[in-house]
Amino acid sequence: MGELRTAGERPPWEGLDGTDRHAACVVAARDGDRRALDVLVADLTPLVWHVARGHGLDRSTAEDVVQTVWLALLRHLDRLVEPRALAGWLVVATRREAQRTWTPARREAALSDELADQLESEYGLPEDAALVDDRDYRLWRAFGRLSQKCQELLRLTVLAGRAEYRAVAEALSMPRGSIGPTRGRCLTTLRAHLDAEGGSR
């Protein structure tokens, strides 16, 4: 490990975005800058969380998976060959850990739990936003009818500002150029399912 940077020194990731920002943080973290780890955790925990929840884990199990993945990164930080591929590494690690803990009974509970949490936190009491609740209920039902691949692709590309298509392609073992077209097909299928649920009015 190198020398710790002073608190007033300009961090090397300042002004950077996406994979450039994360790569700079990985290098700095390897040199002993604890601030860099804090930045990585703040930037990428939403991605890790979405992947864990997307695999049907309940909130408590997903929290355990997130913690396990970050601890694994700390252990492997010096062995991460390509710092720019960090987001992809995290997605793959989260998928593997989630699959290790997954049981069929958890999926239904996790989806209903997630829907209830979303409606309560974003829209308040049901009578305050009945139309919005109904629309989102149909959207979640339509989303649940998509293939697992489409669900995961859409979840990850929603976070494209953090994960970027390159990381998504690596995580899903897909050619980078196919991410956009595949996402378009998944969205078309989602719209068809949503129409079958009664539209998005």
Average pLDDT, the chain: 76
Residue ranges of the chain assigned to CATH 1.10.10.10? 121-200
Q: Give the pLDDT of residue 91.
A: 85
Q: What angle, 0 to 180 degrees and rounded to 10, lies between the N-to-C axes of helices 34-54 and 18-30? A: 130
Give residues with Cβ within 8 angstroms of 15, minimum separation 6. Answer: none
Residue 72 banded pLDDT, cuts 50, 70, 90: very high
Q: pLDDT of 8-17, one tens digit each?
A: 578 888 888 8
Q: Give the pLDDT of residue 126.
A: 43
Q: Give the pLDDT of residue 159.
A: 62
Taking residues 160-164, what's their average pLDDT? 53
pLDDT of residue 160 exceeding 80, the answer is no
The whole-angstrom separation of Cα 170 and Cα 189 is 23
The whole-angstrom separation of Cα 25 and Cα 172 is 24
Q: pLDDT of 23-55, one tens digit each?
A: 999 999 998 888 999 999 998 888 888 888 877
34, 84, 87, 22: CA torsion to nearest 10: 30
Handedness of CA 135, 141, 143, 146 (dihedral sign): negative
Helix (H, G, I), strand (E, B) or coil at 114: helix
**Least confident range of 105-119, 127-141, 168-182:** 105-119
The token pair that represents 118 in the structure block: 């979303």
Q: Over pLDDT 90: what percentage of the chain?
A: 16
Q: Is 10-120 a CATH 1.10.1740.10 domain?
A: yes
Q: pLDDT of 163-183, one tens digit each?
A: 567 777 777 778 888 988 998
Residue ranges of the chain assigned to CATH 1.10.1740.10? 10-120
Q: Angle at CA 46, nearest 5°, toward 28 and 166?
A: 70
CATH of domain 121-200: 1.10.10.10
DSSP string for residues in 159-187: THHHHHHHHHHHHHT--HHHHHHHHHHHH
The whole-angstrom separation of Cα 96 and Cα 84 is 20
The whole-angstrom separation of Cα 20 and Cα 40 is 12
